[in-house]
Structure 1
């Protein structure tokens, strides 16, 4: 069990490498991953089940202790990322399928890897976990509503279809994870130790399947989509950080806001795009998953060196 836990920690710490590696393999050998396309939604459900298994009561105690700061992070996330996505689509006149994919990933809740990046950045981890939990719980209503509001100009959007999908792949698995947590008792910790390995394995297969299904379109439009993803993610980090600064938050909490705003649950984006739109619409989510782990790691490394500015009278 110790060896498996050590392997799981290694997989979690090198997540960005595995995502990038499998994305490249899927691009050059799409036949290996095409049969896995139907597994995208169930695999995301496994990841969300793991999230439910790790949620603790004190994660939500943070909401009661500092409600306005958690609310600020959640509001900033669901305003900044969808807004930046819509603006980029308008300014760059993106093709409909790509535009919907960019908006879709912008409307997703905070990414599961963001908490790790906040910890590495020496940010306020308790605040980050609370923001991630709240945005995930709000996603069943806000994500389909925002996609319908912002993306309907490009392609038809079914609010009820998106809502039902999110209930299936987010809410139900999280509830099952919470139930399993109670049933397992002390053994829950053993399950949690191997979760990074399970989550990484599921996400790299999801990304591989999305890349394989869209290989020809990525060859045609991949650089454009990657440029949009980099801008989207970068503005998320920047505006999240300066939102915290505008409201007078200390440095550790500004770091948390930057990560929680700029990093998305791109696995959910890929699953929703594949189920409701097209393989091409899932590409922004796939590339976002690769890029935000790289950029988040770089930003967290820089954040570790940033010190709180001394107050001057």
Structure 2
């Protein structure tokens, strides 16, 4: 997929809107939550920023992926959270404040970690084949522009016009999901001739990544003695990746659309597994694991 309207205009605008919408629900107090709920925040961040890339690397090595798709999976693993995880946490009645805090802090940190993880993965899986290596400082600035700036603008808007921002936030979140759907469909249609092959290659590994990270997130939260609401939040934050950002990095920054395929397929899978998780919660499968 060469550069076109989707990758050069629509995708950056959609990502800007998504991150702006996230900022509409953020205040400085959310960043201070690291001092209010240090254990939950620390566990969530370590799982997102350390465990996720490690799991992604293990699965990329274990499954028989082409070098491009292996790097694409690592890009996905390096992009935790996003406004989608906040919406799903809200629908599952998790600790939304914790979810937003993890998303906000990880969004700041990943402007540094994404170039590191992606470059290491590219060198390992592609070696000399990879001529599109991410320049570190330039990439940090580019990711900051498409994430930190719109989030900051959303926070400023909320600070001065809180009532309007609260109304806008709800609509923008659902609009964000709609835009994500359009992006996924557009990528899959563009690569339709290779779609069946791509599903065969990365369908299993994306499902495994999603289920494994959700399971690990819930398990770690149990071991830490967190309450059910916090467990839900960490499960979703660790198990639901920022597919839109991963697609933007693959198609816009790297101009390597095949690397966006894992993120596109994963973005479909994550809604199915989130629905299953919601069903298990509703059926009180985890009743015996609730904190007293």
Matches within 5 A, 1:187-206: 187-206=164-183
Equivalent residue number for residue 289 of structure 1: 267
Equivalent residue number for residue 213 of structure 2: 236
Whole-Å Cα distance in 1 between the matches of residues 14 and 89 of structure 2?
Answer: 25
Whole-Å Cα distance in 2 between the matches of residues 176 and 244 of structure 1?
Answer: 33
Whole-Å Cα distance in 2 between the matches of residues 58 and 253 of structure 1?
Answer: 18
Equivalent residue number for residue 35 of structure 2: 64
1:250 aligns with 2:231: no
Partner secondary structure for residue 161 of structure 2: helix
Distance 1:117 1:83, change over 3 A: same
Partner secondary structure for residue 80 of structure 2: coil
Whole-Å Cα distance in 2 between the matches of residues 97 and 270 of structure 1?
Answer: 13
Work out which of the residue numbers 36, 57, 61 in structure 1 matches 2:6.
36
Whole-Å Cα distance in 2 between the matches of residues 94 and 191 of structure 1?
Answer: 41
Equivalent residue number for residue 307 of structure 1: 287
Structure 1: state its 5+ residue gaps.
1-29
Using the TM superposition, give the Cα deviation of residue 229 of structure 1 relative to its aligned residue in structure 2, in angstroms. 0.5
Q: Deviations over 1:272-301 (max 9, x none)?
A: 010214111101111111110121122022
Work out which of the residue numbers 176, 200, 203 in structure 2 matches 1:226.
203
Equivalent residue number for residue 80 of structure 1: 51
Using the TM superposition, give the Cα deviation of residue 177 of structure 1 relative to its aligned residue in structure 2, in angstroms. 1.5
Using the TM superposition, give the Cα deviation of residue 70 of structure 1 relative to its aligned residue in structure 2, in angstroms. 0.3
Matches within 5 A, 1:1-313: 35-38=5-8, 39-155=10-126, 156=130, 157-158=133-134, 159-275=136-252, 276-304=254-282, 305=284, 306-307=286-287, 309=289
Partner secondary structure for residue 271 of structure 1: helix
Whole-Å Cα distance in 1 between the matches of residues 215 and 162 of structure 2?
Answer: 41
Whole-Å Cα distance in 2 between the matches of residues 227 and 286 of structure 1?
Answer: 14
Whole-Å Cα distance in 2 between the matches of residues 310 and 236 of structure 1?
Answer: 20
Distance 1:84 1:311, change over 3 A: closer
Distance 1:195 1:89, change over 3 A: same
Distance 1:260 1:211, change over 3 A: same
Using the TM superposition, give the Cα deviation of residue 178 of structure 1 relative to its aligned residue in structure 2, in angstroms. 1.7
Partner secondary structure for residue 109 of structure 1: coil
Distance 1:193 1:115, change over 3 A: closer
Q: Deviations over 1:87-144 (max 9, x none)?
A: 1111123101100110100000213222233333343332222212211121111222
Whole-Å Cα distance in 1 between the matches of residues 232 and 79 of structure 2?
Answer: 20
* Alpha-carbon RMSD: 2.3
Whole-Å Cα distance in 2 between the matches of residues 293 and 80 of structure 1?
Answer: 21
Q: TM-score, normalised by structure 2?
A: 0.87
Q: Deviations over 1:31-70 (max 9, x none)?
A: xxx7433221222111111111221344234222012320
Distance 1:298 1:310, change over 3 A: closer
Using the TM superposition, give the Cα deviation of residue 311 of structure 1 relative to its aligned residue in structure 2, in angstroms. 7.8
Q: TM-score, normalised by structure 1?
A: 0.82
